[in-house]
Amino acid sequence: MSQSVRTSPSGSDRALSEAYDTALLDLDGVVYAGGNAIVHAVESLAVARAGGMHLAYVTNNALRTPDVVAAHLTALGIPTGADDVITSAQAAARLISEQVPEGARVLVIGGEGLRVALRERGLEPVESADDDPAAVVQGYGGPELVWGRFAEACYAIARGVPWFASNTDLTIPGARGIGPGNGAAVEVVRIATGAEPQVAGKPLPPMHRETILRTGAERPLVVGDRLDTDIEGAFNGEVDSLLVLTGVTDGAQLLAAPPQHRPTYVDADLRGMLTGQPAVTERGEGFCCGGWTATARADRLELDGDGAALDGLRALCAAAWTAAGDGSCALDSGKALARLGW
């Protein structure tokens, strides 16, 4: 994918599962939410796999180990091995291992996923700032993570120990809604110490590097629901992306996306992997997709026509992104989105 400014979603004559050798799939908001499979996910992934596409699951959630994630996916009806799961804990552990001696102690603020990843790199997880750690690593620890763990991180960082974070996602989707993610916890330590962590997870390069090293993907497609992690990570890695609208991103956020947050393709859910993608064409002052034409006026986006709502959204993306250029679109999109049911 070129780093030139994207002004429209792309089209594809081939099913995406045929055009790309590997799907790098986010989990929360894409495959499952609150532990339960998202509608159409199980069947869509089965068809993609049967057609020869390699499926890899790439998550910023550092709490669970690859074994646990693989077992969960398999229980949902998605046969998965631990080698098919790449976590931000693994990316963080590799980053740390490149900066501290082999066998070094690392203070863990988070869950078992971090501890397993550190041991895989020959590092020793410890629980206290008094254990003479060579580094501090912070990852999502779940709702049971106690406040005192943040204090341990602060004590070590104040002594000059380098600080690493698996990721900085402020939120995480769950069965009851959107909750605070690891990024919110990182902010607690940042505010208390004034320090800045080295971050491993999406959208930053360490996570993309970890994913490519572990999957061997030659033509990967990033599939995600978040603009600021999944799609920006694909942009940074210069690979194509598919945004699915089953997670945290809504239509208004998509239309206002700056260049690094604009996906290659947009679809409702994982069924979008199994089909071609309709092209958006320029016509006069507007952009057409399916039965819709979208136009950017001085202060608003306008939408005319009818047909599939997703085609209308794709046309609106072209109008909004073209008008914004290399910035974020600030045109009023409320009426246009309302016509599509968003």
Residues annotated catalytic, as ranges: 26, 28
| DSSP state letters, 254-303 | HHT--GGG--SEEESSGGGGGS-BPPPEEETTEEEETTEEEEE-SSBEEE
Judging by DSSP bridges, how do beta strands 286-289 and 281-283 pair with one another? antiparallel
CA of residue 142 relative to chain centroid, distance = 18
Specify the residue for token string 């495959």: 31
Spell out the SS3 assignment of 188-244: HHHHHHCCCCEECCCCCHHHHHHHHHHHCCCCEEEEECCHHHHHHHHHHHCCEEEEE
If we measure between CA atoms, which residue out of 62, 52, 57 comes closest to residue 90? 62
3-state SS, residue 179: strand
If we measure between CA atoms, which residue out of 68, 195, 211, 86 comes closest to residue 138? 195
> Using CA atoms, how far apart are residues 41 and 338, in angstroms rounded to an integer?
27
Beta-carbon contacts of residue 27 (< 8 Å; ≥ 6 apart): 57, 58, 59, 61, 69
Beta-carbon contacts of residue 146 (< 8 Å; ≥ 6 apart): none
